[in-house]
Each structure stands twice: as C-alpha cells, then as structure tokens.
Amino acid sequence: MTDVSIAACAAQTNVAAKLVVAEQASLFINDDECGDWVLPLAGGLRFQSVNAMSALCFVVAGLQLLIKAETPIARAYGLMMCCVGLGSFSFHATSSLSAFLIDIVPMAVTASLMLFKAIHAVQADAGHGGVGAESTRWFISMGCGVFAVYTPWVMIVSGFSHFTVWGVWALLFGSMGTVFGVVSLAIFFQEDLMRGKPGFNLSLAIAAVLLGLGCTIHSFVPGMCVGWRTVVPLHACWHFFSAITANRCGHTLDTLTKLIEAIELEPKKKLWSSDSLLVRLLKRDSMPSQFSM
C-alpha cells in the first residue's frame, strides 16, 4: 500500500471518529434506555420506544388535574404536567442533549409551583402576609427553579458525565418536592387531615415516588444496566409511578391552597399569638416528652 493510500485511510478513519464523537456529543447518554426497544434515527439520534410512549402518562395525570382541580395554581400545575409529558416524550424520542434540557424545564416549573405554595403555607401559619411576603416566596421559588435548570446545563458544558448531571438534577428537583411534601404533611397533621383523602393523596404520592426511584436508579448510577435489567424497561416504570406522584401532588397542592386561604381568613390576633409552624415543630422535636420521663 502506498503512502498516499495509507494517508487517505487514516484521514477517513479520523473523519469517521470525529463523526462518532459529534453524534455522541449530541446525545444525553445515561442508562435510561436500558431494557428498552431502541430504534436508530437519522443524525445518530435514538428512539426509546417504551420510554417515549410511557412519558404520555404525565399528560394523562395533567389532564385529570385540569378537569378536577378547584384552585388556579393546581390547574396551572396540571397544565405544566402535560408539558412535562410532552418534554419527556421529546427527550426519549430522540435521546438528544437539547431535548433533555427541554424535558427538565417544565419539571422545574412544577417544582417551583409546589415550593411557592409550601413557602406560602409557612408564611400564612406564621401570620406573615402582604406584598413583602408574596415577593419573598416568588423570589425563592422562581430562583430555585432557574437554579435547578441552570446547574445541569453548566455541568454539561463543563464536561461532567451525564450520569452525574442526571443525579444532581434529580437531587435539586427532588429537594423542592421534598420541602412541599414535608410542609404539606405538617399542615395536614395539624389540621387532622391525614386520616382523610388529603392524607391518602400525600401518602400515595410518597409511596409511588419511592417505587419509581427504585426503578430508575440505574439512570444515575453507572454500571447497573446488567442482567435482567437489560430486558425490562424500568425507566418506563419510573414514568408510571412518578405520574401517579405528580397527580397526587397536584391534588395535595389544591387542598393546601384552600387550607392557606382558610388560615389567612382567621383573626390576626390568633395568627400572631401562636408560634409558627416551624417553631412548633422544633419545640416538639427538642423538648422532652412527659411520657419519656
């Protein structure tokens, strides 16, 4: 083989390698597609069949809230859940990096709505109202939502592994949801609602999200896509369980909003004369119980 032929082959190999790297750079590569039926698309994109179809569970969850919810913020949450379903479908239908960012934006908005109402509940219980209190909760909730989206983008640009990006995103998103869950649990317990439908909705949301996380842990822990996981589309199970959680959180948001309205209608003397919710919880945890003496 002549030197010219060797050089030509080397150049072709180099071009092919660059094309492969470029295609991989356009994909969000973790193990979401583990066990799924993946179809190759033009431009190196990949269609995750079961994951894409199961993402529509979020649309169903959102539509049910749009029909059944009674408060504007819960209906807005339902609308955003429909957007979550479309964003998730877009991501899994292409596996592209840009679609991943499209996927997480509506999710961050739904988390911000829950965080907004959780802060509102704490403020109302403490007797803090007015324009200043409203500005505070908007600033915190919207700021956290932007941070939850901006951080994964910075990490991707900085070269972090997609497993790490997914894990950090899940932590940021889950933290906002956890705050909402803890505040809702405290308020419902205070109002003796845990034995009714509000308590059932919250308990079901917690149970479903834990089941869902167990199904998708391989998405942010490398090396788990082995054995039986390679033939079971577990990430689709995450979509199913997290759609249940999202729907029940929407109904919890609806109930919490109505409770806040009732709290704010109470006489101000009663509001200001008692400790805030957080202070009461701290006292309850830190002061010795009479039954433990």
Predicted pLDDT of residue 264: 87
What 3 state SS string does 212-240 have? HHHHHHHHCCCCCCCHHHHHCCHHHHHHH
Residues shown for the chain: 293
Q: How far apart are the first and last CA of the chain?
A: 92
What residues are paired with 48 via a beta bridge?
38
Predicted pLDDT of residue 272: 40
Predicted pLDDT of residue 146: 97
DSSP state for residue 38 in the 8-state scheme: E
pLDDT over 50 (residue 289):
no
Higher pLDDT, 64 or 282: 64
Closest alpha carbon to 107 in 137, 150, 139, 145? 145
Dihedral-angle region of residue 35 (phi above 0 means left; psi in -120 to 50 means alpha; beta otherwise): left
Predicted pLDDT of residue 20: 38
pLDDT bin (cut points 50, 70, 90) of residue 266 is confident
Distance between CA 63 and CA 52 in Å, rounded? 18
- The structure's pTM equals 0.84
Fold observed for domain 37-275: Rhopdopsin 7-helix transmembrane proteins (1.20.1070)
- Going from N- to C-terminal start, the domains of the chain cover 37-275
Question: pLDDT for 25-65, tens place per residue?
Answer: 589 999 999 999 999 998 889 999 999 999 999 999 999 99
Question: pLDDT for 73-104, tens place per residue?
Answer: 999 999 999 999 999 999 999 999 999 999 99
Six token digits for residue 66? 């749009």
Predicted pLDDT of residue 26: 87
